[in-house]
Structure 1
């Protein structure tokens, strides 16, 4: 279960605030493609690491194998 603090600031997720700002996972190029097809955008891509961002600004770092 994930808890949410009642001491939230209005305006949704902000990656510059304290707390979790992105999650890094191993994944596939197909998974990145699925995220982009679902409306995520690419913030940056560096070699095997792709950083898609959702509509609220949450960043997922996907390290693509091989």
Structure 2
């Protein structure tokens, strides 16, 4: 059986913590920023952990089993 390829879009978007959790960036922080408040933009700037309900999909994209 051939090796599985990692989704190239996913490997650019997700990183790992030291304990093996998967980090992601917040959405809605790339354009149309003029109508968003400073507080909203500041809070979107941080990274967060991938939610439990989406973890299986992300792990499949990264070929982690």
Considering the TM-score relative to the shorter chain, is it more than 0.5? no
Higher-helix-fraction structure:
2
TM-score by length of 1: 0.22
Q: Which has the larger radius of gyration?
A: 2
- Looking at secondary structure, tell me which structure has more strand per residue: 1
- The alignment's TM-score, normalised by the length of structure 2, stands at 0.23
